[in-house]
Amino acid sequence: MLIFTDGIFITEQVGGDNDRDLVEMVLPEVPAPFPELTLAIQKEKFEKAGFEIVRAEEAYRPIRFYDIGAFVWFAHIIEWEFPGFSVDKCFDKLLEMQEVIDKNGVVEGTIHRYLIVAKKK
């Protein structure tokens, strides 16, 4: 989301570490598609472009799946994070995730977001 108001630029973005732990559970060979999407890197880009950072925050929060079917649906709809995902291709890894759910009641990953509020100097 991008918002411009009274010379202030506001953006809240999905970070490059979003769901990486989940991707690595089922597709360990897939590289991170957007490693430059971190608060530190993006702040530096804004500052080099002549912006003053008014506010900057980064958050890592849990995302939980209590059902392997819900995870399969999730991985299918976010294909840019789970490229090449299929039940057939990832079947053994999905069984491992199901074992975690059976043991712990949940399989957990991490979402990543960052916020930048900036104004032109």
pLDDT by residue (tens digit) across 46-66? 999 999 999 999 999 999 999
Strand partners of residue 62 = 110
Q: What residue numbers bound the domain in which 58 lies?
A: 2-120
Copy the structure tokens of residue 107: 């399989």
Copy the structure tokens of residue 68: 């392997």
Question: What does residue 36 show for φ and ψ, rounded to 5 degrees?
Answer: -80, -5
pLDDT digits (tens, 9 = 90+) for 81-108: 999 999 999 999 999 999 999 999 999 9
Measured CA to CA, the distance from residue 16 to residue 2 in angstroms comes to 17
- Structurally, the chain folds into a number of domains equal to 1
Report the CATH number at residue 36.
3.40.50.150
